[in-house]
């Protein structure tokens, strides 16, 4: 690693503009993460087109700040009202809410902040030390490897997103089909443009993402909204402010949590590097593992400080791993990194090994921004821990209106295109029906994002092999990925069959 690059990167982020944008991102992320129903994905999707108008370092400072803090802040509502603020905080509800009920809500909020930061920092170190070696390995990749990598990413998303693999596959292929709208990547022939100029550039995945995760989610929340449940949650939230107790854990408590948190950090960084495996999966796996290794497993699920600390560490611990996969391979590690790929492309950068040669300085800045965001979260999060519970007093109706307006503005601001707003609206309605029917939007979005990469590398590989499919088994990395893809898709079916036979 070139030290001058690190020094240069550090000096370029230590400017007032970058610091202000990062801090603003942290604050926005805390508000969004704490409110159930709003996710880091939604926030990043809406903000990305808006940050296009800023300098890349300022725009990314805000996005990285939002991402890290939204995941951390999901633990706030998990503790106060037993509802995860973001999907990654699902495991935090297992013990967080019980701690609140035992009068240790303040302690839970303090642990959420400290151990989310710990997980974030460890996974960022994972990114810093492993990204460059992985990038230099992937430079040797050819079209077959890239095709299989993209297919592996899509397969993982399908297998990780719901109980029905068939529905996931249908969504994945629908996304791939939609990605072919526009111009053929190799022959520059117009395809499925319906003779309109708006579709010549293809269907941009950001408006689709904003629609599905923004409008679609709002419509779903409106549908599921029950006044009685809202009244209970508001009552809980307003009574929380005076009943939280001390925030900081004692030194003895902290030292006792170091070992399980360290194990959870390492596990979650690796899980984060697997495409499509996000904070929700990592925190549940790490919580389960920590329970097996714990001296007091009976306390887990009943207000275990250790269990809660592990879940908080794990949900932020995936971020560095996801970013490693995104930067080195150009494959999104989770939904947010999928959007960040779009953001990098907006600035004219291509994630993948080339990032580490053509834009090495920006890669280093991203790594340093991750560390900076965690420092900001630690300071701001601890100072405002008790006050942050008041965010939950916001009525969901207020949030719904604001999100609808921001979705329209965000999708328009991307290309100053009204067609993108129409696409966003249609995606929102589709997203609502898909959510109701148990069709996960992840495979659809990823198919739309990776379709171009899949198609161009598949066709290049077939040109190289003169039409022979054997090229996909002759190269070792490609063969390994192919085996992983087959196992990922068929393992749940085989397991189900064995269990049925055993019964």
Partner 1 sequence: MERKSKGDIIVGLCFVVAGLAFLAGGVSLGISGKAAVPGPGPGFFPALCAVFSIFFGLWIAIEAVKKGSVDFFGTDPEQLSNGKLIAFVTAVFILFMALWYFLNFYVGVAALCLLYNFAFGRTWKFNLIFSAVILGLLYFIFERLLSVQFTI
Confirm if 423 and 411 have CB atoms less than 8 A apart.
yes
Nearest approach in angstroms of CB 24 to partner 1 is 12
Q: What is the DSSP letter of 163?
A: S
Nearest approach in angstroms of CB 396 to partner 1 is 9
Q: Which of residues 167 and 291 has its CB atom nearest to partner 1 in the complex?
A: 167
Nearest approach in angstroms of CB 192 to partner 1 is 6
Distance CA 279, CA 272 (A): 7
**Nearest one of 311, 293, 340 to 119, comparing CA atoms:** 311
Nearest approach in angstroms of CB 40 to partner 1 is 21
Q: Which residues contact 397 (CB under 8 A, 6 or more apart)?
A: none
**Nearest one of 46, 44, 28, 43 to 391, comparing CA atoms:** 28
Q: Which of residues 356 and 434 has its CB atom nearest to partner 1 in the complex?
A: 434
Binding region for partner 1 (CB under 8 A): 50, 53, 166-167, 169-170, 173-174, 176-177, 180, 184, 186-187, 189, 191-192, 215, 219, 222-227, 397-398, 400-402, 404-405, 408-409, 412-413, 416, 418, 421-422, 425, 429, 432-434, 436-439, 451, 454-455, 458-460, 462-463, 466-467
How far from the centroid of its chain's Cα atoms is residue 106's Cα? 27
Q: Which of residues 254 and 409 has its CB atom nearest to partner 1 in the complex?
A: 409
Q: Which of residues 17 and 224 has its CB atom nearest to partner 1 in the complex?
A: 224
The Cβ of residue 118 has, within 10 Å, a number of other Cβ atoms equal to 23
Q: Which of residues 191 and 354 has its CB atom nearest to partner 1 in the complex?
A: 191
Q: Which of residues 51 and 315 has its CB atom nearest to partner 1 in the complex?
A: 51
Confirm if 243 and 105 have CB atoms less than 8 A apart.
yes
Q: Which of residues 3 and 166 has its CB atom nearest to partner 1 in the complex?
A: 166
Distance CA 454, CA 107 (A): 48
Nearest approach in angstroms of CB 458 to partner 1 is 7
Burial of residue 163 (number of CB atoms within 10 Å: 0-12, 13-18, 19+):
exposed
Burial of residue 296 (number of CB atoms within 10 Å: 0-12, 13-18, 19+):
exposed
Distance CA 282, CA 270 (A): 9
Nearest approach in angstroms of CB 282 to partner 1 is 28
Nearest approach in angstroms of CB 434 to partner 1 is 8
């Amino acid at each position: 690693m070139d030290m001058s690059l690190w020094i240069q990167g550090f000096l370029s982020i230590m400017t007032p503009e970058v610091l202000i944008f990062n801090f603003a991102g942290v604050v926005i992320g805390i508000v969004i993460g704490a409110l159930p129903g709003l996710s880091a994905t939604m926030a990043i999707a809406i903000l990305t087109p808006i940050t296009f108008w800023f300098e890349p370092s300022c725009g990314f400072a805000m996005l990285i700040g939002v991402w890290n803090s939204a995941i951390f802040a999901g633990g706030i509502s998990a503790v106060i009202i037993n509802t995860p603020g973001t999907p990654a905080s699902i495991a935090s509800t297992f013990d967080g809410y019980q701690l609140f009920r035992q009068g240790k809500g303040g302690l839970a909020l303090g642990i959420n902040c400290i151990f989310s930061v710990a997980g974030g920092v460890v996974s960022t170190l994972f990114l810093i030390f492993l990204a460059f070696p992985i990038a230099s390995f992937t430079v040797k990749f050819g079209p077959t490897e890239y095709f299989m990598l993209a297919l592996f990413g899509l397969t993982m998303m399908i297998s990780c997103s719901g109980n029905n693999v068939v529905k996931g596959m249908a969504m994945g292929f629908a996304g791939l089909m939609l990605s072919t709208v526009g111009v053929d990547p190799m022959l520059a022939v117009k395809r499925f443009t319906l003779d309109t100029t708006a579709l010549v550039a293809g269907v941009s995945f950001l408006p689709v993402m904003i629609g599905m995760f923004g409008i679609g989610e709002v419509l779903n929340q409106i549908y599921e909204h029950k006044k009685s449940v809202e009244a209970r949650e508001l009552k809980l939230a307003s009574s929380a402010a005076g009943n939280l107790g001390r925030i900081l854990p004692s030194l003895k408590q902290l030292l006792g949590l170091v070992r399980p948190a360290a194990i959870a950090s390492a596990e979650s960084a690796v899980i984060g590097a697997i495409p499509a495996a996000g904070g929700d999966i990592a925190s549940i796996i790490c919580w389960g593992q920590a329970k097996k290794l714990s001296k007091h497993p009976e306390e887990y699920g009943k207000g275990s400080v250790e269990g809660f600390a592990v879940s908080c560490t794990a949900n932020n611990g995936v971020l560095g791993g996801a970013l490693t996969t995104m930067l080195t391979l150009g494959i999104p590690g989770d939904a947010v990194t999928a959007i960040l790929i779009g953001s990098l492309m907006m600035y004219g950068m291509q994630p993948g090994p080339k990032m580490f040669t053509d834009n090495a300085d920006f890669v280093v800045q991203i790594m340093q921004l991750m560390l900076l965001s965690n420092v900001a979260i630690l300071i701001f999060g601890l100072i405002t821990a008790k006050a942050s519970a008041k965010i939950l007093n916001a009525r969901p109706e207020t949030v719904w209106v604001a999100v609808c307006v921001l979705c329209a503005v965000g999708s328009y601001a991307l290309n100053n295109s009204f067609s993108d707003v129409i696409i966003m609206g249609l995606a929102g309605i589709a997203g609502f029906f898909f959510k109701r029917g148990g069709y996960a939007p992840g495979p659809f979005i990823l198919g739309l994002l990776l379709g171009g990469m899949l198609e161009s590398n598949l066709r290049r590989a077939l040109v190289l092999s003169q039409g022979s499919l054997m090229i996909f088994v002759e190269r070792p990395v490609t063969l390994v990925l192919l085996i992983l893809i087959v196992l990922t898709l068929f393992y749940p079916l085989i397991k189900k069959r064995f269990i049925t036979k055993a019964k």
